[in-house]
Amino acid sequence: MYERQTETARQKNRRRAVRRQRRLLFGILIVILLTVILIFSCCGRGAQAPQTTPQQTVPGSIAEGTTARQAEPLPEGWEYRASEDLSLQDGTLVLVNADHCFDPALPETVSVYDNMTGSYLVKDIYLSLTEEAMAALNRWMDAFAAQSGRRDVNIVAGWRSFEDQQAIYDNAVATKGQAHADAYIALPGCSEHHTGLALDLDTYDLASGTSGGFDGDGAYTWAVEHAWEYGFVQRYPPEKSAITGISYESWHFRYVGLPHSYIMSTEDLCLEEYIELLRQHPFTGEHLKASCQGAEYEIYFCPQDALVVPSGRPYTVSGNNVDGYVVTVHH
């Protein structure tokens, strides 16, 4: 009898202990829930932006959404420019090579055939260039024809799609081998032709219907030596192949615009070297100065998050397709 009473008491004690544990656990859960509600309530109040009166942006002021770097004051005559409407792949100084690819869908191009003058030939009606490069090509070839009397330069390549470049690369591998393709043909996505700023020259004899190539010698020397005057540079010089990654191409020209073509030509710089030179002339340091074609230029580099431009003076901005923008001020 005593043992049964003892067992009954034990069962009651266990049930009371279980009820105490349940009440304790329930209490803990209530505390946790209240804490979570309190935390979210405080965060919600903290996330509400204070009501402010919109202010008009004035030259040199800090526009909404600017970076911390743009909080630094600027000298008089300069202002920050928001870069939301710009891209590092915009402009005539985009660097395109095996390490820096380019989206061929970006550039807007015009037909070479529809816009050409009578100073040169074009391979077919499908070739296109950017409008700025097209206008410069006409001036260049018109000047060459006037100087030499020759009108047999043939434009055989301009803008290319990714698929076009892939087909050219695959054909080079199949017909001339992998080594040749790697030396002369850029990989799809890494071709300058994607920009609409690059073109290939050839010569064509209308009488015989044969192509003569373009080596830039003889009667065509003038066209090569004066290309910079119209914004073009020979993109792959023989002595720069270790830097550009492409073997010498006497026929391949790239539009970079003035005064950049002048500086690259006089200083014997390929585009990779020129982009590096521009980094050594940031807005906060000594600007690069150039005088050519009767005009004065001031050039400097800005990182992507701190684009500075002149107030009330003409300028152009080009991304370098790497890490920032090149600003060219026209005096």
Q: How many CB atoms lie within 10 A of CB 172?
A: 17
Whether the CB-CB separation of 163 and 71 falls below 8 Å is answered with no
Residue 250 has pLDDT above 90, yes or no: yes
Fold that domain 61-93+258-331 belongs to in CATH: Phosphorylase Kinase; domain 1 (3.30.200)
Whether the Cβ atoms of residue 311 and residue 81 lie closer than 8 Å to each other = no
Task: In whole angstroms, give the CA distance from residue 3 to residue 1.
Answer: 5
At 7, is the pLDDT very low, low, confident or very high (cuts 50, 70, 90)?
very low
**Block residue for tokens 């023989």:** 238
Backbone phi and psi for residue 140, each to the nearest 5 degrees, phi listed first: -65, -50
pLDDT digits (tens, 9 = 90+) for 14-53: 555 445 555 555 555 555 665 555 555 544 444 333 333 3
Closest to 299 (Cα-Cα) out of 265, 312, 286, 91 = 286
Q: Which helix (H) or strand (E) holds 93?
A: none
pLDDT at 293 exceeding the cut of 70: yes
Average per-residue pLDDT for the chain: 85
With beta carbons less than 8 A apart as the criterion, state whether 96 and 195 touch.
yes
Rounded CA-CA distance 78/327 in Å is: 12
Strands (E), 90-157: 109-111, 121-122, 128-130, 153-157
Looking at residue 52, what is its pLDDT?
A: 31
State mean pLDDT over 302-324: 96
Query: Please, what is the Cα angle at 136 between 131 and 137, to 5 degrees?
Result: 95
More confident call, 72 vs 257:
257
Q: Tell me, what amino acid is at 244?
A: T
pLDDT at 145 over 90: yes
Contacts of 327 (CB under 8 A, 6+ apart): 283, 299, 300, 301, 302, 307, 308, 309, 315, 316, 317
Any idea which residue has 């980094």 for tokens?
Answer: 279
Mean pLDDT within 145-150 = 97
Query: What is the C-alpha to C-alpha distance for residues 201 and 152, in angstroms, rounded to an integer?
Result: 10
Radius of gyration of the chain (CA): 33
Confidence of residue 59 (pLDDT cuts 50, 70, 90): very low
pTM: 0.79
Check: CB of residue 150 under 8 Å from CB of residue 219: yes
What are the sequence ranges of the domains in the chain? 61-93+258-331, 95-255
Q: Residue 127: CB partners within 8 Å, gap ≥ 6?
A: 111, 112, 113, 155, 156, 157, 158, 159
Residue 215 pLDDT > 70 = yes
From the CB of residue 243, how many other CB atoms can be counted at a distance below 10 Å?
16
Quote the pLDDT of residue 63: 44
Q: Which CATH architecture has domain 95-255?
A: 2-Layer Sandwich (3.30)
Lowest mean pLDDT among 63-72, 92-101, 190-199, 203-212: 63-72
Half-sphere exposure of 187 (CA within 13 A, CB side): 12
pLDDT digits (tens, 9 = 90+) for 109-138: 999 999 999 999 999 999 999 999 999 999
Instruction: Write out the two tokens for 284.
Output: 């906060």
Whether 8 has a pLDDT exceeding 50, the answer reads no
The pLDDT of residue 26 is 52
